[in-house]
Amino acid sequence: MTQQNAARLFEAVKRDQALQERLKATANPEAFIKIARERGYEFTVEELNTEIDKLSEEDLAAIVNPGWGNRRHLNPR
């Protein structure tokens, strides 16, 4: 069940600019999870990492750097 919460959080982040900005500003998983918990999403660091591994580069970029849109690379070369 908590694994589904991590997946649901990522879907919510895609739609919520303010949440994107808050999560983007955090550098560690514990702070990320604390913010998620405040929004009603309960999961562990391991479950977070599992969900991150499932994301495409485009989806991850939309969460981490939403201003880039659907670019192919997180860091342009």
pLDDT value of position 77: 46
pLDDT value of position 74: 46
pLDDT value of position 66: 55
Distance CA 39, CA 76 (A): 32
pLDDT value of position 1: 54
**Regions of the chain where pLDDT drops below 50:** 68-74, 76-77
pLDDT value of position 21: 80
